[in-house]
Every structure is written in structure tokens, then in C-alpha cells.
Amino acid sequence: MPTAISDSQFTAEVTQSTMPVVVDFWAPWCGPCKVTLPIMEELSQEYEGKVKFVKMNVDENMDIPGQFSVMSIPTFVFFKNGQPVKTLVGGRSKEDFKKEVDALL
């Protein structure tokens, strides 16, 4: 299950993580976000111990989404060694997400 994080937890959970991290920027009212949530849950189990999955509600957190120019949701930012390496906007298939996650390893 992706961990919900806030602006104040971002540094510790993402940029200081020893594992690659996938950040899901979402909101409760977003239809496509609801569609991708089960995919993120499955991937977080499949890659447990290898890749960390977190989610950030853009309605409750303004600073970090602004820093990464999140204009549409869902937006997924892939981090490796604390740095963003890939951004995907909008829903994707599980296979598409797996390709991107595998590229982090």
C-alpha cells in the first residue's frame, strides 16, 4: 500500500530514501487517480523492499507539488538517488508502470 506523505515528510521519505521512490500526486475527487490506485497498491506489494511507493494529496499539500510543477493529476514522479528521473502524467496500464519502475532498479 502506498504511504500517504505530506510536504514536511517529503525530504525524509523521498529525497533521503536509500530505495528508488515513486510519488503519486493525487486528489480524492480525481477519477483517473481512483483508477490508478489499485495498480499502485499491486506494484507496492510486488516491489516491496526494492522500490518505495508514496502518495501525496495535492489539495492538502501545496509546496512539493508546486516544486515539481504538478499541473494535472494523477502525476507520477520517479526518483532515484533522491533525484527525479521520470515524470508521467495521467493514467497508464500496469505494464507501462512496471516498465518505468524496472528502469529504476
Q: Which residues are catalytic?
A: 30, 33
Asked if 40 and 53 touch (Cβ cutoff 8 Å), the reply is yes
Start-to-end CA distance of the chain, whole Å, equals: 19
Amino acid, res. 81: N
Name beta bridge partners: 54. 3, 23
